[in-house]
Amino acid sequence: MSTGLTDEVLASFASTPDKRLRTILERVVVHLHELVREVEPTVAEWETAIGLLADVGAMCDDTRQEFILLSDVLGVSSLVETLNGPAVDSGGTESTVLGPFHMTSSPARALGDSIDDVGGGRRALVTGRVVDPSGRPVPGAEIDVWQCAEDGSYDVQQPDVQPAGNGRGLFHADDEGRFRFRTVVPGHYPIPTDGPVGALLSTTRRHPYRPAHVHLLVSSPGFGALTTHLFVAGSPYLEQDAVFAVKSDLVVEFGNVDEDAEGLDRPYRHADVEVVLVPASSAAVDVG
């Protein structure tokens, strides 16, 4: 089949001042045109695809990002995070998806504070240390935390039930790179299915569930920012995450503890983690 149209479209970008933008647009056009030639969609199928994108855009608001959700369920988010996360041989903690619920600012909290503002039953303590690949502490590192409640719902999904900021906290590590906060063990949950992405999953007979996890976004000057998860060991769907984000090294035991701790009566669950940040110069995977 003639590629004259593709060449004509590519030529239209020849004067694009931004070389990176020009490269991206050219590759998008080439791959899209190849896809169209391969599957030969009908006009009705093309209109359905346009309608899906329009519906996805219409579903987005200040507290919901349906386009990120679409990217998630197609595995694109996981791929982008992997390409931009720490190189395999850097020694850094593995990255994973941001997800669609990092839409509001986390409230600043002091080390040891609770991010559970509704009094959940499965109390937990998360402790950790931020270090560089040599094990040296990263003092003052910023740790942005967000998670769902025990029932699998985020604060933005239940504004009449959960106060804004529940399950969220912005912490700064101490001089030894250590951090700690109190919370509840989050539940596994379905991603939102009341929009076009949910309809897509239903049409393709895919389940919408994610395993239980806590989100961390960790950063410090001179280091590459890290977007990662603490996946709760033993959670359902660790092997079938709807957004393809589980990495075995990120699965963490939330063990039972039968002794008192500051702000926590026994028994409770405890997870302890080490977060390794890599220097900004070597933070991204080399993709050539």
Q: Tell me: the pLDDT tens digits for 97-121?
A: 998 888 788 999 999 999 999 987 8
pLDDT band at 85 (very low <50, low <70, confident <90, very high): confident
pLDDT at site 288: 35
For the segment(s) 71-282, the CATH number from 2.90.10.10, 1.10.760.10, 3.40.50.12160, 2.60.130.10 is: 2.60.130.10
Q: What type of residue is 200?
A: L
The confidence score (pLDDT) of residue 100 equals 83
Please compute the mean of the pLDDT values over residues 20-45 and round it to a whole number: 97
Is the overall model pTM greater than 0.85, yes or no? yes
Question: What's the rounded Cα separation, in Å, for the pair 71 and 184?
Answer: 28
pLDDT at 263: 63
The C-alpha atoms of residue 19 and residue 152 are separated, in whole angstroms, by 44
pLDDT tens track for 147-171: 999 999 999 999 999 999 999 999 9
Helix (H, G, I), strand (E, B) or coil at 155: helix
Mean pLDDT of 182-206: 96
For residue 124, CA distances in Å to 178, 266, 270, 283 come to 17, 10, 6, 31
Segment 274-285 mean pLDDT:
80
The H-or-E segment that residue 28 falls in is helix 19-39
Domain boundaries, the chain: 4-60, 71-282
Closest residue by Cα to residue 138 from 170, 175, 85: 175
